Amino acid sequence: MRSLLRHLLTAALPAIIALSHVANAAQGSADWADVEKAARGQTVYFNAWAGDATINRYIAWAGDEVQRRYGVRLVLVKVTDIAEAVTRIQAEKAAGRTTGGSVDLMWINGENFASLKAAGLLYGPWVDSLPNARFLNASDPTQETDFTLPTAGLEMPWGGARFTLFYDSAAIKSPAPQDPQSLLEWIRAHPGRFTYPQPPDFIGSSFLKQLLLLLVADPARLQQPVAADFDSVTRPLWAWLDAAHPQLWRSGRTFPRSLPDQRRLLGDGEVDWLLAFNPSEGARAIRARELPASLRGMHFARGALGNSHFLGIPFNASASAGARVVANFLLSPEAQARKADAAHWGDPTVLSMGALNPADRKRFDVGAQGAAWPAPVPLLLEPHPSWTPALERAWSIRYGTR
């Protein structure tokens, strides 16, 4: 009797599991239908760094689409640094505003995510409830953790990034340096022609981390928080910088403020290099006629610092349903493919090609990305977030005060 039952159960199990999946899926899609219903007519205030006309146009396109398809009005709130929005949410929490917040959706990663998560300022987890979340690339470690912190469904991967160096091939005819040592030799041979944005600028700090990952004896150590061994771990980095700085632009006494600042220096011919976090930056700048067509991109051969950038919803968002609908649309193969196309933005997708059906996969065949696109190299994960402020502080004590 018992064995019969077991037999029956065993036979039925797959069916039961399948049924429950169907039920779950039905449940899920019913829930999602509710979300879409709630979202209709909502206005979503999307706070994003909006310093790039190309990105703004892409977001405007998405706004038109979600208005047409879901009746959601998307308003881009332009910030010069997403930290402004983070401080606003903090101020709202301090003032006791737990609903009706001024931010509905925000573009974040790294330290911003760490601050928001630590202070409990994020809505969710919500990412797994999005229908398009099933296309996400589960094998990409930069989506699971954001600067080593588990994302825990509190932020949705939106795009990928790899630290990239661009140089003017009209000025650098011989093969470009492939590792820190040969870059240092190049800098010594060409005084005044290399520089990097001053930390704590995002790109400048990333450059320090990229160098550290290549120079440090044990890269795995960087996945753990900063501890008393900071000085000994980072010693090779300071040695490299000590050697390079006297030969940098302005003898390393002044640094560009930001990527755009350095882009102007390259465009004007004051330096030969540009550092960026988006491999498409070169192709974009050439198309926008900001930089010469002789620009070429490269990664250090041993690996490029990489991360993902994300979308988050504040705990007190006024239109969280609308925000989720917008996020789901931005995750759709259609929106991701358009974003990956250098003609519209050139931001690497977060979707897994294997999870897509052939028709959707085809959307990503946009052909050659241009000569300024760097050849792929292995991924180097972001260090634990505690390394960023520690490196910035150490940098500013060593180089920021003379």
Residues that bind other proteins (CB under 8 A): 45, 47, 50-53, 75, 77-81, 83-88, 90-92, 94-97, 102, 111-112, 115-116, 119, 191-192, 198, 200, 249-251, 253-255, 257-261, 263-265, 267-270, 288-292, 389, 393, 396-397, 399-402
Closest distance of CB 323 from other proteins, Å: 15
CB of 92 to other proteins, least distance (A): 6
Contact 163, 206 (CB under 8 A): yes
Q: Work out the burial of residue 217: count CB atoms within 10 Å of its CB; fewer than 13 is exposed, 13-18 middle, 19 or more buried.
A: exposed
Q: Which is nearer to other proteins, 357 or 401 (CB)?
A: 401
Smallest distance, Å, CB 180 to other proteins? 22
Residue 218: CB minimum distance to other proteins, A: 27
The nearer residue to other proteins, 265 or 379, going by C-beta atoms, is 265
Quote the least distance from Cβ 313 to other proteins, whole Å.
Answer: 17
Q: 135-140 long-range contacts, Cβ below 8 Å, gap at least 24?
A: 135/331, 135/333, 135/351, 135/352, 135/355, 135/356, 136/331, 136/350, 136/351, 136/352, 136/355, 137/350, 137/351, 137/352, 137/355, 138/352, 139/352, 140/308, 140/350, 140/352
Nearer to other proteins, 2 or 289 (CB): 289
Q: In a 3-state reduction of DSSP, which class is residue 382?
A: coil
Cα(236)–Cα(216) distance, integer angstroms: 7
Q: Select 165 or 266, whichever has its Cβ closest to other proteins.
A: 266
C-beta of 85 vs 244, nearer to other proteins: 85
Residue with Cβ nearer other proteins (10 or 87): 87
Q: Between 41 and 100, whose beta carbon lies closer to other proteins?
A: 100
**Are the CB atoms for 80 and 288 separated by under 8 Å?**
no
Alpha-carbon distance of 145 to 384, in angstroms, equals 10
Minimal distance, residue 257 CB to other proteins, in Å: 7
Longest C-alpha distance within the chain, in Å?
87
Nearer to other proteins, 252 or 279 (CB): 252
| Cβ atoms of 394 and 234 closer than 8 Å | yes
How far CA 362 is from CA of 6, 36, 280, 341, 369, in Å, comes to: 47, 28, 20, 12, 16
Query: Do 33 and 89 touch, CB atoms closer than 8 A?
Result: no
Q: Cβ of residue 84: shortest distance to other proteins, in angstroms? A: 6
Tokens 């795995």: give the residue.
Answer: 220
Would you list the DSSP string of 151-194?
-TTSEEEEEEEE-EEEEETTT--SPPP-SHHHHHHHHHHSTTS-
